[in-house]
Amino acid sequence: MSEFLVHDLKDTVGVAVVDIRAGQTVSGRALDGKEARGVKALENIPLGHKIALRDFQPGDTVIKYGEDIGRVVQPIRAGQHVHVHNLKTKRW
């Protein structure tokens, strides 16, 4: 079973399809079903929220749906929750 989905192979985050608990090693699949990825969750990730698939530094770009969805404002480690506390839009 996959705990997260990756919408595009370029994505640097996955989307939780179940509630993920800190400490779990979780797996995800790309929507085309051809590539699997895994990561250890460092924090609880609620259903529908993003999990980092790599480490990020402030100023880095996050990719979801194959598109730039914003810039990192705090360091994020692979397996952490990616949300409004550490990711901001580049529009403002």
Say yes or no to pLDDT of 68 above 90: yes
CA 18 to CA 16: how far, in whole Å?
5
The candidate with the shortest Cα–Cα distance to 3, out of 29, 33, 32, is 29
Q: Which residues contact 33 (CB under 8 A, 6 or more apart)?
A: none
Which pTM was predicted?
0.93
Task: Give the list of residues 6+ apart from residue 34 with CB closer than 8 angstroms, or none.
Answer: none
**Which one has a higher pLDDT value, 88 or 36?**
88
Query: What are the pLDDT digits (tens) for 26-42?
Result: 999 988 777 778 999 99
The domains of the chain are located at 4-88
* Maximum distance among all Cα pairs of the chain, rounded to whole angstroms: 38
Is the predicted pLDDT of residue 1 greater than 90, yes or no? Answer: no
CA–CA dist 18, 78 (Å, integer): 18
CATH of 4-88, one of 1.10.10.10, 3.40.710.10, 2.30.130.110, 3.30.830.10: 2.30.130.110
Q: What percent of the chain has pLDDT over 90?
A: 86
